[in-house]
Chains A and B, each alone.
Chain A
């Protein structure tokens, strides 16, 4: 086997392994996301309004 052929085989195998790794990793990512508990979305009205946080000294607290 010539050096060219050997290197070509290495590149080809690496590429195939990378694609398999990519698909496998994506599957693993989706599985991980499925297992995680979902956080309930905040009610819309809560998301719109905001409250000014008053510093404790400004509020007269010690």
Chain B
């Protein structure tokens, strides 16, 4: 499908949904007798309805564009050069991964792809990482394992080192503690038949689904993150190539200077750098990375705090791009969606739910709280069933949709709100390393 047609469809879906939502909202307000003549109540009810419309519009647009992406993948004809398999360098940045790095490399050796090299970049580890990888260096059939050691400088500098020393034209950047599905490279590389595609964003799965927090995150990755990524994939403008799995044209990365080290979300920053340079970024569902999600609440908050501030830092570097579409509507939409999800939506979500409860109590209609909860939960359950079915994932996760919005998302959104305030106040922050249980 041509690019212009994609944008036209996206615009039509958005405009139609907004128009329908606006008309419905106006009709509803005109029929509520208690609102007439009471301006304070009118404004509050309007705000709540705007929240509700935003919520529904967001779901509908993402689900519809995601569905189009899914359809497109089902009926896609082989792209030019799809039968060829250009060699790939897999860059594994490792900092103190001594306990898991051998297993990680051995799982990469199992990948179903004709030719690739595994380049481990030891980022100044103080444990046995370097020694373990040294013992694995060498040739395994058509696959070569190499080690490069550098002093500690963070993940971005480790990846830049890997990009500089990669021997092939395509690089796969991942986390040292992630695993890839066997068909990852085969599925992702077919997209590079299109010369406008600079990168492919993969599908991240939570592997340690062993407690409430990690199961909720597993659902969030499918319903929240992947649903948005699939929709953006239809527009060829994915706005975050996830850290655990991104495949790039090496030449483009070298031209753009690789990863910058001035944000706390180097993956989001690089993605925006590619998009604003005019490159296309697609999403590949079958290119899967399995990652260990934080198992404790405080570790989860730490991760989300860093993500939020990092995304805001990456967006701030390109603030002018948010205002006018300079490289096509897709990029503009994608950047604004990022801004909306990072800043606007968390606040609207928490305040919207709180405001409804207050209004319901003040107007003596406390019973409506139940219907409000039922409505929003139903929406989440439908979205969960839809996205889980699309990914052929574990249907048992649907049950967690019942507490997804009013519990999990509220906790995450409150942390995002604080992170946003601290970012604007310029509060100092540090990287740190998330505690992993080593379950991969």
Contact = CB atoms under 8 A, between A and B. Distances in A.
Given A19-B350, A42-B152, A25 B301 contact: yes
A29 B121 CA distance: 31
Given A22-B410, A29-B298, A11 B370 contact: yes
B370 to A, nearest CB: 4
B122 interface: yes
B357 A42 contact: no
B340 interface: no
Interface in B399-440: 406-407, 410-411, 413-415, 418, 430, 432
A8 B366 contact: yes
Interface string A19-55: 1011101101100110010110010001111111101
B262 to A, nearest CB: 12
B302 interface: yes
Contacts of B161: 50
Contacts of B153: 42, 46-48
A53 B373 contact: no
B367 A55 contact: no
A49 B165 CA distance: 12
Interface string B214-246: 000000000000000000000000000000000
A19 B354 contact: yes
A52 B370 contact: no
Interface residues of B, number: 44
A28 B411 CA distance: 13
Interface stretch (B143-151, B201-209, B322-330): B143-151
A42 B406 contact: no
Interface in B343-392: 350, 353-354, 357, 360-361, 366-370, 373
Among A4, A32, A53, residue most surrounded by chain B Cβ atoms (within 10 Å)? A53
Interface in B290-318: 297-298, 301-302, 305
Contacts of A21: 411
Contacts of A50: 121, 148-151, 161
Contact of A9 (B122, B134, B366): B366
Contacts of B354: 15, 19
Interface of A: 2, 4-5, 7-9, 11-12, 14-15, 18-19, 21-23, 25-26, 28-29, 32-33, 36, 38-39, 42, 46-53, 55-56
Interface of B: 121-122, 124, 130, 134, 137, 147-154, 157, 161, 261, 297-298, 301-302, 305, 350, 353-354, 357, 360-361, 366-370, 373, 406-407, 410-411, 413-415, 418, 430, 432
